[in-house]
Amino acid sequence: EDAIQNASWFRLSEVKISYNFKEFLKKKKIKADLRLSVFAQNWLLNTAYQGVDPFTSLMGYNQAQGLDLFNAPNLRSIGMQIQVKL
């Protein structure tokens, strides 16, 4: 019983914010569509578990999820996307 831990967890997987400049370009009489997006992935993980990230799996195999041996860390990323339609 000493080795049993609470394994519940909460993760914010992806957040994406976008803005479309279509109306702004329409006022300038430019016939194009411009969208700017900013995103973040895996930025929040809340767990009482002391082991590895519960979403990762051993050597990347789905069948080995939940095993705490030789797991690679989960990656965090942030980025920006610009989309132009002419």
Span 55-82, pLDDT tens digits: 776 766 677 666 777 776 778 899 999 9
Q: Is the dihedral of CA 62, 64, 66, 72 positive or negative?
A: negative
pTM of the model: 0.65
Could you tell me if 48 and 5 are in contact, meaning their C-beta atoms sit under 8 angstroms apart? Answer: yes
